[in-house]
Structures are given as structure tokens and as C-alpha cells.
A and B are shown apart, each in its own frame.
Chain A
């Protein structure tokens, strides 16, 4: 790789063909017509990248639209980001909105706002307050979701899965709606599964807690099952162990 020496600065409206840079700073409207590699990206305003972005630290204040892949050790979005390719990141923090068409791989995810992913999403740790829609497998080691809007996930798996209904406070008050929001999922699987306000066909796990507002088709558990009186579970089965009935 070429030694990354120069900086790219766009103030106002500007375009660049991309390349390798040290710092990229955009205030206003920037358009990068190819791939870009940099140490730090700091975008304020509207940026459009026609290729891939590779950065150590990528901060978006405003709007970013990337038509390729994003690889960044730290990716912070304040505002809105949409990525047509995949995202690979150690630390992904979003306040606002992020939508991604390809698969997402991250180590830690901290999110307040709206996530929409058209493919699989995986992380070791994820804390989310807001609305999520994942059109694939959401595979997270430790997942903590507070629902602030109607959400959906095709499949959900991990060690610790916790879905709670969001308490309406903080800056999120503006999404205030009177009815309770639900998470819809096909399958939820994990070791420790704690659910609230979740509609799922199948929930499988070791220790499962079904809280209020849940409607579950089938619960399969190997350890314990706790059910809130308001929860609706059509069928429950204790499986595994010596007294497995199948």
C-alpha cells in the first residue's frame, strides 16, 4: 500500500476520485467517485461514496451513502448512513439510523435509533434501543434490545438474548406511540432467553423467560421455563436430559 500522506478536505461542495489519505474531512456536500482508504473520516453534511470505504475511524455527522463496502475499526454514525455492500467493524455505534444491504460483522454494537439490515447481522455484544428489522439471521453473543417501535427479525440466535419493551424517556420520547410495540421473529434460540412483547413461532433455549406481551407458538427448553401470566404460549416442551419424551 502507498504511504498515506495527504489529507482530503472538502468545504462546501466538492468531489474527489478517491484514493489513499490520512484524514478526510468533509463539511458540506462531498462525493467520492471511487474507493477510498483513510485513517480518519470526519463527515459533516452529506457524503456519497461510489466505491468502498476503508478507515480506522469513521465518523458520520449527517448523511452518508456508500455504494460499496465499509470496513472501519470504529464506525460512529450520528444521523443516517446507508451502505449497499457489507459492513465490517470492531465498534459500531449509531444514534440515528443505519441501513445496510449486505451482511454486517461487528464486535460491539451500541445503537439508539433504527437499524435495517437486508442480510445477516452478527456481533459479540449488542445493545440496542430503538427499532430493528433484520432480514436474515441476527447472531449476537449478548443481545440486549429495548423496543421502541415495531421490529422484526427472521432468525435470532446467541448466548444471552434479552428483548424488553422500551421505557419512554430520554431523547427517544418523540417516537412515543400509545400502543406497545412488538418484535416479530420466526425462531429465537439461545442459552438464556428473556423475552417481552415478542411474537415468535418457535423459541428454543436452556433457560427461557417469557414475559408479558409475548405470543409464542412453541417453546422448547432444556433447563427452566418461567412464564408471566399475561404471556400466551401455545405449546411448551421440555427436551433433552434423561426423561426426554421423544
Chain B
């Protein structure tokens, strides 16, 4: 809880009561979603107020999450949604051309992976995630091709070690040299003045987006 509180210290918070009024969900639903891990424990922030202890949430994150749950709850079961939101690597594996066909990643990013991993016939979730992350960074123009290759290398080599814990990906440049690392979330990292952060990616959010895309596309096909 301490870590959670610290991480949200500067953020805009919403009280539980306000949240329920704004979204129209009931206490029963909120508690059910909490039981099913649709809402992470770290978002429940307990603060003492004049009426005693009250629970608050990080406003933007919880509102976005509830909107997502409400839009998906007709199509997916709670357990399926929980699998989608959890940072655990899903058991998705796909042949590379499938990713291109579904327009999840670009050819350029996929070539980067092929160069690093040597044309794997079937991509594991770590592969897909690394290509997806690199693709995102390439699209925004934050990194060049070599650096995207570096991201892919770091993610495919080290991401499975996190075993589902939340982490962030940082790409840092200094004096023309680029390095890439994975850092636990929440954590604070400070660099010297001449270093420049090219990419800071929350992998948990990235995974959520990716799973959503993978699921939607499969649904569209069937």
C-alpha cells in the first residue's frame, strides 16, 4: 500500500462515492470487479478524512478502466477481462504474417525482430510484445531502427523474467549512445542533465492495448 500511495501522490484522485455517482455503477459491481482483479489493488488508496477512512482512486486510470469494463462486459466474461487487464503474459502465439495481416505491427518493426531472433516461425507473447512496443516507438519517431532493435532485444531477452510484475521500458540517449532498460513500476529513476529519455513506456498499458487488439481481431474473424 505504501508504494501505491507514493506513486499516486501528485495525481488527481477521485473518491469512491464520486466515482459511483459519475459512472453509475453499484458498490456490488465495484467489489465484484475488485475480487476478480479487474481493478488492481494498488489503485485502492485509503486516506483518512473527517468522516473516517475513505477510499480514493487515481481519477484518470479508474475512469478509463471502468469505461473499458462497461464496454466489454457484454462480450467477455469477467475472467476473460481479468486475463486481459493482468500484466501476465497471455498464452498468445501467432505466426508473423498474421500480425501484419491484422495490422497490429508494421513490416519495418517485424524485420527488426527477424534480424534479432532469426525469423521465428511462430511468435511468442514476448516476441509480439517486443515488436508491438518497438513499433509504437518507431511510429512516433522517438527511436531509429537500430534503437528499435535494441528495444526488441531487451524485451525478448528479459521480459519473461518479470513473470507478470508491472514494469516500464526506458530508452535513454547520452552523447549519441543509446541504452535500453526495464525498470520495476512503481520506481523513480533520475538521470544526469545531459542524458535524454527517448522512450518511456508503461508496459502494463502497452500489454493491455495489445491484448485488446489481439482479442478484437480474433473476434472479428470468427
B35 to A124, Cβ gap below 8 A?
yes
| In the complex with contacts A159-B28, A187-B52, A204-B21 CB distance below 8 A | no
Minimum distance in angstroms from A208 CB to a CB of chain B: 11
Cβ-neighbour of A206 out of B26, B30, B31 (below 8 A) = B26
Is the CB of B140 closer than 8 A to any CB of chain A? Answer: no
Minimum distance in angstroms from A215 CB to a CB of chain B: 15
A158 to B31, Cβ gap below 8 A?
yes
Is the CB of A177 closer than 8 A to any CB of chain B? Answer: no
CB closest residue in chain B, given A241: B21
B34 to A204, Cβ gap below 8 A?
no
CA distance A157 to B28 in the complex (A): 7
CA distance A201 to B34 in the complex (A): 23
| In the complex with contacts A239-B17, A240-B21, A159-B31 CB distance below 8 A | yes
CB-CB under 8 A from A141, the residues of chain B are: 28, 31-32, 35
Is the CB of A236 closer than 8 A to any CB of chain B? Answer: no
CB-CB under 8 A from A220, the residues of chain B are: 17
CA distance A155 to B16 in the complex (A): 14
Interface residues of B (CB under 8 A from A): 17, 20-21, 26-28, 30-32, 34-35, 51-53
CB closest residue in chain A, given B35: A122
| In the complex with contacts A124-B35, A141-B35, A158-B52 CB distance below 8 A | no
Is the CB of A202 closer than 8 A to any CB of chain B? Answer: yes
CA distance A52 to B35 in the complex (A): 23
Instruction: Mark contacts of A204-225 with chain B using CB atoms, 8 A cut-off: 1 yes-contact digit, 0 otherwise.
Output: 1110000000000010100000
Between A and B, 21 residue pairs with Cβ closer than 8 Å are A122-B35, A124-B35, A139-B35, A141-B31, A141-B35, A157-B27, A158-B28, A186-B52, A187-B53, A189-B31, A190-B27, A190-B31, A201-B51, A201-B52, A202-B52, A204-B27, A206-B26, A206-B27, A239-B17, A240-B21, A244-B21
Is the CB of A110 closer than 8 A to any CB of chain B? Answer: no
B27 to A139, Cβ gap below 8 A?
no
Is the CB of A39 closer than 8 A to any CB of chain B? Answer: no
A191 to B27, Cβ gap below 8 A?
yes
> Top 8 nearest A-B pairs by Cβ distance?
A159-B28, A191-B28, A157-B31, A189-B27, A191-B26, A122-B35, A201-B52, A139-B31
Residue among A139, A189, A206, A244 having the largest count of chain B Cβ atoms under 10 Å:
A189
CA distance A206 to B29 in the complex (A): 12
- CB proximity to B under 8 Å, residues A82-121: none
CB-CB under 8 A from B17, the residues of chain A are: 204, 220, 239
Minimum distance in angstroms from B51 CB to a CB of chain A: 7
CB-CB under 8 A from A189, the residues of chain B are: 27, 31
CA distance A201 to B51 in the complex (A): 8
- CB proximity to B under 8 Å, residues A119-151: 122, 124, 139, 141
CB closest residue in chain A, given B46: A155
Instruction: Mark contacts of A28-57 with chain B using CB atoms, 8 A cut-off: 1 yes-contact digit, 0 otherwise.
Output: 000000000000000000000000000000
CA distance A202 to B50 in the complex (A): 12
CA distance A132 to B53 in the complex (A): 21
CB-CB under 8 A from B52, the residues of chain A are: 186-187, 201-202
CB-CB under 8 A from A186, the residues of chain B are: 52-53
Minimum distance in angstroms from B23 CB to a CB of chain A: 11
CB-CB under 8 A from B27, the residues of chain A are: 157-158, 189-191, 204-206
Minimum distance in angstroms from B105 CB to a CB of chain A: 36
CB-CB under 8 A from A190, the residues of chain B are: 27-28, 31
Minimum distance in angstroms from B143 CB to a CB of chain A: 41
- CB proximity to B under 8 Å, residues A155-194: 155, 157-160, 186-187, 189-191
Minimum distance in angstroms from A198 CB to a CB of chain B: 16
CB closest residue in chain A, given B31: A157
CA distance A157 to B32 in the complex (A): 9
CA distance A204 to B51 in the complex (A): 13
CB-CB under 8 A from B35, the residues of chain A are: 122, 124, 139, 141
A218 to B31, Cβ gap below 8 A?
no
Minimum distance in angstroms from A149 CB to a CB of chain B: 25
Instruction: Mark contacts of A229-246 with chain B using CB atoms, 8 A cut-off: 1 yes-contact digit, 0 otherwise.
Output: 000000000011000100
